[in-house]
């Protein structure tokens, strides 16, 4: 992930900061090592370390040491915690919320966000996305995907549209389906498998 100006929430200094805050504030009971955060957010440990230092100092994150491991979590007992969580849910929330929703669904080999949210996340200017579009590659049950989309829609306060394609169709190079050609040519944000993009 490039660390340029964040199009999703220009109030923040970087996309890394937005992704880090969203991960922690949307999982307020969890602690993460810097290495784990870096893997989930898709950036270097040094980038996470730099952002965490600033956010701990400002009181937005809490930290503790467990041996040589530095653990961080959201500071949820501050006056800004609730409004910040709400703002993060509707801006940077799709990635952690959808990864959680899809992680338990069997038959997914890969999942990506595409469309306007992915374009804003990748730095393309434009209006605030009204919905979130997800492509699931695999044989997942459509009812399970509908349930995941409904749960994510409630958490993100906007429609989530999940489309499934079979692995063979996604693997075609070039794709014969014009929709898949469009998805491949435009910005995408990986949900599963988790890790760097």
Q: pLDDT per residue over 25-66, tens digit each?
A: 999 999 999 999 999 998 999 999 999 999 999 999 999 999
Using the CB atoms, write b or e for 150-186: b if 16+ within 10 Å: eebbebbebebebebbeeeebeeeebeeeebeebeee
- H helix and E strand count, the chain: 9, 7
pLDDT in tens, 115-136: 999 999 999 999 999 999 999 9
Residue 3 reports pLDDT greater than 50? no
Phi/psi at 30 (5° precision): -105, 145
pLDDT at residue 2, rounded to an integer:
45
Q: Take residue 19 and report the two structure tokens written for it.
A: 């992704």
As a CATH number, domain 95-192 is 3.30.460.10
CATH architecture of 15-91: Orthogonal Bundle (1.10)
Q: What percent of the chain has pLDDT over 70?
A: 96
Q: Report pTM.
A: 0.89
Where are the CATH 1.10.10.10 domain residues in the chain?
Answer: 15-91
Cα 82 from Cα 8, distance rounded (Å)? 19
Q: What is the pLDDT of residue 195?
A: 60
Region(s) of the chain under CATH 3.30.460.10: 95-192
């Amino acid at each position: 992930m490039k660390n340029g100006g964040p199009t999703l929430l220009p109030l923040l200094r970087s996309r890394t900061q937005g992704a880090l805050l969203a991960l922690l504030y949307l999982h307020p009971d969890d602690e993460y090592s810097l290495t784990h955060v870096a893997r989930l957010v898709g950036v270097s440990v040094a980038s996470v370390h730099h952002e965490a230092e600033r956010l701990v100092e400002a009181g937005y994150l809490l930290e503790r040491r467990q041996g040589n491991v530095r653990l961080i979590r959201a500071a949820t007992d501050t006056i800004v915690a609730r409004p910040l969580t709400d703002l993060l849910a509707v801006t940077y929330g799709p990635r952690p919320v959808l990864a959680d929703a899809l992680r338990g669904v069997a038959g997914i080999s890969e999942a990506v966000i595409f469309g306007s949210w992915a374009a804003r996340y990748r730095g393309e200017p434009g209006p605030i996305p009204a919905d979130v579009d997800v492509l699931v590659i695999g044989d997942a049950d459509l009812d399970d995907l509908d349930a995941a989309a409904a749960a994510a829609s409630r958490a993100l306060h906007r429609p989530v549209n999940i489309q499934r394609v079979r692995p063979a169709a996604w693997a075609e190079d070039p794709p014969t389906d014009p929709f898949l050609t469009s998805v491949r040519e435009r910005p995408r944000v990986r949900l599963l498998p988790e890790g760097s993009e």
